[in-house]
Amino acid sequence: MSAKPKIAVHKFSSCDGCQLAFLNLGEDLLRLSELVDIVHFAEAGALAPEASVDIAFVEGSIATPEDLERIEAIRANAAYLITIGACATAGGLQALRNLADAPAWTADVYASPEHIASLDTSTPIAAHVKVDLELWGCPVNARQVLGAVRALLFDVPPVEEHDKVCLECKRRQGVCVLVARGEPCMGPVTRTGCGALCPLFGRDCYGCYGPAEQPNTPALARRFAGLGLVPEAVARRFLFINSGAPDFHDEGLKWREGEGS
């Protein structure tokens, strides 16, 4: 890593919410800009999409033919590539099209679908190029982004978080919404990093940080059914923001196709 590393923030198919994790740094963003050169970040004004950089942050999924070419060029120009958010790490909400007839959906939505240049699938960045670090979340938060940059500035590998939301919820002395209130909370299978935000506000987690390590999805899905959710509703708990993540995809599909029990 050079003395003042160059950073780029690139956008693919996404809502821009994860780029806001940078903008929401506020004063820390000014401090960060003293330590690194932010050479490309269209949402903040800096434009140099083809620049060679030390760290490329990538938001969004691969969803158009043009995306396929652009991600190759970004990878070739970056020493270290970090994906930010559910879109970039699992295909995002738009990966629901992978479970459907995408051309038929396009024809239903657009008056002139022949003008839409879109792939039939939405796929994560890692399906196309080597990714050095994945930051999960919808959106990621400023702590995750700063933590990764800080680690790289000190020449140490960033720490990946794999624990479950439940652990974070308990550490913060949250009341379990699944046990105490019978809510279909995804915390037992979802990766931590958000600070157990939803359960601490008394609502069930919907899995926006993607699968944790070794998630026991069959047991949790059966628990949801025991709470009274019909199979389609169980499937929807898993086939949502991270439907492209294999652990959630496989469990959700099982229940959608009537094979859950």
Chain residues binding ligand SF4 by CB under 6 A are 14-15, 17-18, 59, 85-87, 92-93, 138-139, 165, 190, 194, 196-199, 205-209
Nearer to ligand SF4, 5 or 59 (CB): 59
The torsion defined by the Cα of 217, 218, 223 and 224, in degrees rounded to 10, comes to 70
Instruction: State how far the Cα of 209 lies from the Cα of 198, in Å rounded to an integer.
Output: 12
Instruction: State how far the Cα of 224 lies from the Cα of 139, in Å rounded to an integer.
Output: 25
Go through 37-70 and write b for each residue having 16 or more CB atoms within 10 A of its CB, e for each that does not: bbbbbeeeebeeeebebbbbbbbbbbbbeebeeb
Nearer to ligand SF4, 113 or 195 (CB): 195
Nearer to ligand SF4, 5 or 10 (CB): 10
CB of 86 to ligand SF4, least distance (A): 4
Nearer to ligand SF4, 5 or 161 (CB): 161
CB of 13 to ligand SF4, least distance (A): 8
CB of 2 to ligand SF4, least distance (A): 28
Nearer to ligand SF4, 209 or 248 (CB): 209
Structure tokens at 39: 């050479």
CB of 258 to ligand SF4, least distance (A): 27
Distance of CA 138 to the CA centre of its chain: 5
Q: Are strands 78-84 and 37-41 parallel, antiparallel or unpaired?
A: unpaired
Backbone angles phi and psi of 164, in degrees to 5? -90, 155
Name the residue whose CB lies closest to ligand SF4: 17
